């Protein structure tokens, strides 16, 4: 009898919860949207989720933003205000509920929301969920919903002028809670877009569904302890130190609505197949979709989660702080149940930037204003955010900024995590890593061109020459060609030959340089464990077709050469190899590579030693099981591929062939 009572009680609790959920009604508002430039006459069909740029493109009102130099030609879009509208039904059962809320999970960014021509909500943060009770303004039958997006660029420019002469370095973007990369980056385009990036919904209910209990089982510790060499930096998961091998992750598209579940699967698969166990979600992008973290949970990939601040100081007013508090607590509560997340980090590079990037001089900031800037910074990242996080998640470590020391400072190699950019930005030799390895290197990299087929996709024939104006649009890094030429001249080819190369050979050599750099840097990092306990390459992915530090190609998420280097260097079953001979010093002979197709495999053989054998096939968008590999004389190697490819479509060459062509 006692057993039955307990059973009935459990059934009753279950049914009560079940019935309250059944009685709640959610209506997705994803259909019949249209848009227009504010206060103009004509409305056009719109997609939700979507952005103004993708809607303009679908309606054939603008060219492909990623093609050639169209980025420059489309800057007018960000200076306009844009309206979206739809109608939805409010049924009798919805109207009977005690509460009816309009819910937005993705409003980018300054949005005024009208229901039946009544202003019900003003939003100003794309990282927050926005809810408003609309019961009083709803009517039976059709209801009008209209959203007016104000130009984020105009707003931040206005805020920056309002604060004048007090300047917040380094960009007016500091004032807005919007994905910072939308304002342009050294690997990304400037498309300061707006739109409805997730499907809005109507939630009608009598009683609010209780919050699910938060339980975290896989104990997480960040060990930062003084030792004889400085201060350690490593993760303990369930009491065991873990060496982290991974990459930095940026948003996978300049237009977030295009990042589908399939795209997430492709990108996370790139990390998993490259033997990674950590991704750092970089602070200039977004808090990713739950599906991203679900995949990381599934594949055992730890997530270092930045809050969305990157390379700027912050406003210190109460309204800004209150906005950020709501953002932080919403996002932490949304994401905290994901066991993959092992760290909350306040920002990317803001601390070291304030101290080392010359802002005081370049922005002519007075000592008094400098003190105020630092005070506001510490109040947010040292005092407020850790407190807000602890209120909703007291089980994970918090780090105020990554890193604390600039790469030029000795402490960056002995204390905490480091972003070592002496290689690339400092033009240091790769071998410098031997004496410049930090305790946990959370950023480093080498730049390369995307696969040549991708270059062809965003250029016309006239653009496909070194240093063309269109190529410079798709190489954002400061002095990018100059730095890449410098490395190629030191490691691969006589510097006097570079400017005469064709673009395809140049792109190939840049990827060989990328491969060589990453293979050796990772090998050195891992050889220094346990002094070094983490290596996160910059970066895993791209948000558009571009020459960048990414180890994969935006087009079809294809691996670049460096992805194959990482895949090999991150293996646990072998000791990573280090090359300390530079390819430019090798005496290469014609390898006379022979090959044949057997089903979905290519079998290759070389008569002489071959370096950086590259396989490509026209129109092929899959992955090769290996690429940019070496062969010793007489060795046979089998490469598998996806689908079917004919022999006539395949192109195979090695470093010898490219150097021979460019004598």
Query: Is there a contact between 109 and 123 (Cβ–Cβ < 8 Å)?
Result: yes
Dist. CA 450–CA 470, nearest whole Å:
14
Rounded to the nearest 10°, the torsion over CA 500, 504, 507, 512 is -100
pLDDT of residue 209: 85
Q: Give me the mean pLDDT over the 488-509 stretch.
A: 97
Q: Give the CATH number of domain 25-151+192-205; options: 1.10.760.10, 3.20.20.70, 2.60.120.260, 3.40.50.300.
A: 2.60.120.260
Whether pLDDT at 11 is above 70? no
- The conformation of residue 538, written as its DSSP 8-state character, comes to S
State residue 23's pLDDT score. Answer: 66
- Using the Cα atoms of residue 495, residue 499, residue 503 and residue 507 in order, give the sign of their dihedral: positive
Identify the pLDDT of residue 227.
Answer: 94
From CA 305, how far away is CA 325, in angstroms rounded?
A: 16
For 20-29, 305-314, 318-327, 643-652, which range has the lowest pLDDT when averaged over its residues?
A: 20-29
User: Which pLDDT tens digit goes with each residue over 88-124?
Assistant: 999 999 999 999 999 999 999 999 999 999 999 999 9
| pLDDT given for residue 213 in this prediction | 79
Residue pLDDT, tens place only, 273-331: 999 999 999 999 999 999 999 999 999 999 999 999 999 999 999 999 999 999 999 99
Buried b (16+ CB within 10 A) or exposed e, 149-179: bbbbbebbeebbeeeeeebbbbebbbbbbbb
**Mean pLDDT computed over 135-155:** 97
Q: What is the pTM of this model?
A: 0.94
Q: What are phi and psi of 78, to 5 degrees?
A: -70, -10
- State the pLDDT confidence band at 170, using cuts at 50, 70 and 90: confident
HSE-up of 660 (CA within 13 Å, CB side)?
10
Question: Please, which residues bridge with residue 534 across strands?
Answer: 244
pLDDT score of 648: 85
**pLDDT tens profile 248-278:** 999 999 999 999 999 999 999 999 999 999 9
Place of tokens 């980018």: 108
Q: Measured at the alpha carbon of residue 124, what is the angle toward residues 122 and 129, in degrees to the nearest 5?
A: 85
CATH number of the domain located at residue range(s) 220-569 in this protein:
3.20.20.80
Give domain 586-661's CATH superfamily: Immunoglobulins (2.60.40.10)
Break the chain into its structural domains and give their ranges: 25-151+192-205, 220-569, 586-661
Element (H, E) at 11: helix 2-23
Q: How confident is the model at residue 201 (pLDDT cuts 50, 70, 90)?
A: very high
């Amino acid at each position: 009898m006692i057993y039955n009572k307990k059973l009935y009680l459990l059934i009753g609790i279950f049914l009560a919860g079940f019935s309250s959920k059944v009685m709640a009604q959610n209506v997705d508002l994803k259909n019949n949207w249209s848009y227009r430039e504010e206060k103009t006459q004509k409305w056009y069909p719109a997609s939700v989720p979507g952005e103004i740029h993708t809607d303009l493109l679908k309606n054939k009102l603008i060219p492909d933003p990623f093609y050639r130099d169209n980025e420059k030609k489309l800057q007018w879009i960000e200076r306009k205000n844009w309206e979206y509208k739809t109608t939805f039904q409010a049924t009798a059962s919805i109207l009977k509920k005690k509460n009816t809320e309009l819910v937005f999970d993705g409003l980018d960014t300054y949005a005024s929301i009208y229901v039946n021509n009544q202003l019900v909500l003003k939003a100003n943060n794309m990282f927050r969920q926005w809810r408003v009770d609309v019961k009083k303004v709803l009517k039976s039958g059709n209801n009008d919903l209209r959203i007016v997006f104000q130009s984020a660029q105009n707003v931040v420019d206005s805020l920056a002028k309002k604060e004048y002469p007090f300047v917040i370095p380094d960009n007016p973007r500091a004032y807005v809670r919007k994905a910072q990369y939308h304002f342009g980056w050294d690997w990304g385009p400037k498309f300061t877009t707006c739109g409805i990036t997730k499907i809005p919904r109507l939630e009608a209910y009598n009683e609010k569904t209780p919050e699910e209990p938060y339980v975290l089982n896989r104990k997480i510790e960040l060990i930062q302890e003084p030792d004889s060499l400085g201060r350690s930096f490593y993760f303990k998961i369930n009491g065991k130190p873990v060496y982290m091998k991974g990459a930095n992750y940026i948003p996978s598209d300049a237009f977030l609505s295009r990042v589908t579940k399939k795209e997430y699967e492709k990108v996370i698969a790139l990390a998993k197949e490259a033997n990674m166990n950590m991704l750092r979600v970089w602070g200039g992008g977004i808090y990713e979709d739950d599906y991203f973290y679900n995949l990381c949970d599934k594949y055992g990939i730890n997530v270092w989660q930045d809050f969305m601040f990157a390379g700027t100081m912050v406003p210190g007013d109460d309204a800004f702080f209150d906005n950020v508090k709501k953002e932080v607590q919403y996002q932490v509560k949304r994401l905290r149940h994901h066991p993959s997340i092992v760290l909350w980090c306040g920002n990317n590079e803001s601390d070291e930037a304030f101290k080392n990037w010359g802002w005081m001089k370049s922005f002519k900031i007075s000592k008094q204003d400098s003190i105020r800037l630092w005070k506001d910074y510490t109040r947010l990242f040292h005092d407020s955010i850790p407190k807000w996080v602890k209120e909703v998640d007291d089980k994970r470590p918090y780090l105020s900024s990554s890193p604390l020391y600039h790469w030029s400072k000795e402490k960056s190699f002995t204390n905490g995590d480091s972003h070592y950019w002496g290689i690339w930005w400092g033009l240091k030799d790769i071998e410098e890593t031997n004496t410049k390895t930090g305790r946990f290197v959370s950023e480093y990299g080498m730049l390369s061109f995307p696969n040549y087929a991708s270059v062809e996709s965003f250029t016309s024939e006239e653009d496909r020459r070194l240093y063309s104006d269109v190529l410079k649009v798709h190489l954002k890094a400061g002095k990018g060609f100059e730095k890449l030429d410098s490395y190629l001249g030191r490691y691969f080819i006589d510097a006097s030959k570079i400017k005469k190369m064709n673009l395809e050979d140049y792109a190939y050599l840049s990827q060989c340089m990328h491969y060589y750099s990453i293979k050796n840097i990772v090998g050195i990092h891992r050889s220094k464990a346990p002094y070094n306990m983490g290596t996160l390459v910059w970066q895993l992915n791209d948000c558009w077709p571009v020459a960048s530090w990414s180890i994969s190609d935006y087009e079809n998420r294809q691996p670049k050469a460096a992805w194959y280097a990482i895949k090999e260097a991150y293996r646990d079953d072998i000791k990573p190899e280090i090359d300390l001979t530079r390819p430019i010093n090798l005496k290469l002979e014609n390898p006379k590579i022979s090959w044949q197709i057997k089903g979905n495999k290519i079998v290759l053989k070389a008569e002489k030693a071959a370096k950086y054998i590259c396989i490509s096939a026209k129109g092929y968008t899959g992955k090769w099981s290996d690429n940019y590999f070496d062969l010793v004389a007489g060795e046979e190697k089998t490469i598998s591929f996806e689908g079917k490819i004919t022999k006539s479509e395949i192109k195979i060459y090695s470093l010898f062939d490219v150097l021979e062509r460019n004598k």
